[in-house]
Structure 1
């Protein structure tokens, strides 16, 4: 009978130990589920951040393209102003030449008139 009692005690001890292990396993499972929930939330936040970053990159790209377009328009305008200034400078030089020629003709005519008056 002592042997049966010992087997029963060992079985009860083993059952108690199995119950403890089962309880620990349940706690670990619960903790794992909680961790998975936290990871899912973290991944959702990362996904939201990636979406926000993508939108911002699209806005930056659009703004850069707009700036490039405006810069090209400014370059065209500056080039047009430079070309116009160059043309006006040439015309002013030609006018100065014509003015000098007219002054010389005027001086020559005045000299001729003074000769005839004398």
Structure 2
């Protein structure tokens, strides 16, 4: 297993603005002070939601960043609990996961 930073990236298309806001509210709930302490202790370094500027659809990119793949594995029990709670939004998504191979911080 690589010791490179590990990322999980999702693209999500929401049915409406209200669906996106419901998703964002759930993400905020899952980012409590206690949750952040647990996730950081287990190697998660960041969680981001980026709203796409697109007049035609409501889309976002969601990025989970970890110290390495082992950290991702340690944090999965927490993030999988997301699905134990009913969602009040509709979204279509796809995921890409893998090791960070290049970024500007590593280039120099």
**TM-score, normalised relative to structure 1:** 0.18
Identify, as 1 or 2, the structure richer in strand.
Answer: 2
Identify, as 1 or 2, the structure richer in helix.
Answer: 1
Largest Rg, 1 or 2: 1
**TM-score, normalised relative to structure 2:** 0.19
